[in-house]
Amino acid sequence: MISMDIDFKPHKRPDQGKLAGFDPIVAEIHVGDRVRFTNTDDLQHTATGYSFGGSQIPSDYRFQGDPTKPSGDAIGANEWSTGNVRPHSVSSKVFTAKTPGTFYFACAYHSKMMRGAIMVKQ
């Protein structure tokens, strides 16, 4: 379970830029684990995976699909999204970790202030 709240404090990671707005901010899980997001804030948020190969999120990145609609089932390097998750402890759909790696995601509405990572281990 990863909580979503725009007020969660920034966590600096020198090679990845600012990560904030989710707790845990870097979720360490294993292949086969399931992930669900819960919006503990009083604003609507999404968690939407970036599809890019590098270690630095491109500053001009734009989500390809419609991040306000749920998409995908797997945490990986392809775009996936919770879609809009309503405030006050509503939970998202469930995603499964299928491939090892570090995958970044953001809230589609607050992508500069709400960014996190999921580290999937074998």
Residues near Cu ion, by CB under 5 A = 45, 107, 109-110, 114
- Least distance (Å) between residue 107 CB and Cu ion: 3
Q: Which residue is nearest to Cu ion (CB)?
A: 107
Q: Which is nearer to Cu ion, 37 or 95 (CB)?
A: 37
Q: How far is CA 49 from CA 42, 88, 115, in A?
A: 22, 22, 10
Q: Please state the separation of Cα 6 from the chain's center in Å.
A: 13
Q: Which is nearer to Cu ion, 84 or 96 (CB)?
A: 84
- Least distance (Å) between residue 53 CB and Cu ion: 25
Q: Which is nearer to Cu ion, 71 or 120 (CB)?
A: 71
- Least distance (Å) between residue 4 CB and Cu ion: 7
Residues 64 and 2: their CA atoms lie apart, in Å, by: 23
The pair of three-digit structure tokens given for residue 81, joined into one six-digit string: 């999204």
Residues 93 and 62: their CA atoms lie apart, in Å, by: 22
